[in-house]
Amino acid sequence: MEIGQKVRVRRLRDRSPQSVIDKLGQVGVVQGFKVLDGKNIGMIVQFEDKFATWFFEDELETAS
């Protein structure tokens, strides 16, 4: 995945706050990357409502 790419939230690995759960199925834009624990990288995604948070790559799928 690349910065600027549109992605859809397809699942969540862990328990999440309601504000993140509400983003399931929604499309956002990758804004950047986040190093999580030295071997995993998260994707920072921003949505139309300007809400942004990070997701594991396997929680996302590309959107057209």
**pLDDT one-digit tens code per residue, 13-64:** 889 999 999 999 999 999 999 988 878 889 999 999 999 999 999 999 999 7
The whole-angstrom separation of Cα 22 and Cα 26 is 8
Tokens of 64: 């057209």
Residues 6+ apart with CB under 8 A from 13: 56, 58, 59
Is pTM beyond 0.85? Reply is: yes
Using alpha carbons, list the distances in angstroms from residue 63 to 7, 42, 53, 58. Answer: 5, 17, 17, 14
User: Hey, is 21 helix, strand or coil?
Assistant: helix
What is the number of other CB atoms lying within 10 angstroms of the CB of residue 13?
9
